[in-house]
Amino acid sequence: MDKRCILILLILTVLIVAISGCIDDNAGPITSANQTIIKTSAVTPAVGFPVPEPLTVYVEIKGSMFNPLELKIVNGTTVKWTNADSVSYIVNVDDVQSPVLNKRNSWNHTFNKTGIFEYNSSNHPAMPHGRIIVEN
């Protein structure tokens, strides 16, 4: 090997040793101009049981229509009606009535039993009725 190659190898070795001595095991990410190195450690996952998150589905009221008109949901799901129309609505479902929903107002109802539930707007009787099918 010529002296120039030996000198380059020596400089690279010194740089590698110098850089490796500067790394703190408790430090965060190490960054350079071209890359970010993120140190990670192995984590043992905790043993547990899955907890289902509550589910919410949405119905928009616009143009004197419910959209969608029919929903299939699972027991425990919340349905949220939102008025996107300029007139007010009152939603009736499962023997429950919403307050008056003016533009941008919302109301929700959680279905905790299975079955088929028709819903409508009591202050717009000619408006097509919606249907919610609740399954297990």
Per-residue tens of pLDDT for the chain, all 136 residues? 677 767 676 676 665 655 665 555 555 454 445 554 444 445 555 555 555 556 999 999 999 999 999 999 999 999 999 999 999 999 999 899 999 999 999 999 999 999 999 999 999 999 999 999 999 8
Domain-located, residue 103: yes
Give the neighbor-by-neighbor strand order of the sheet with 65-67: 65-67, 56-62, 78-83, 106-110
**Count of Cβ atoms closer than 10 Å to residue 62 Cβ:** 12
Answer whether residue 128 is part of any domain. yes
Q: What is the domain range of residue 82?
A: 56-135
User: Tokens 């533009």 appear where?
Assistant: 103
**Closest by CA position to 136, among listed 74, 78, 94:** 74
- Is there a domain that residue 111 lies in? yes
pLDDT of residue 6: 72
Q: What is the pTM of this model?
A: 0.61
Assign residue 62 the CATH number of its domain. Answer: 2.60.40.420
pLDDT score for 94: 86
Residue with structure tokens 């040793």?
17
pLDDT in the model for residue 11: 76
- Number of structural domains in the chain: 1
Bridge partners (DSSP) listed for residue 40: none
Q: Is residue 5 included in any domain, yes or no?
A: no
Has residue 83 been placed in a domain?
yes
Question: Is 33 contained in some domain?
Answer: no
Provide the pLDDT for residue 4: 74
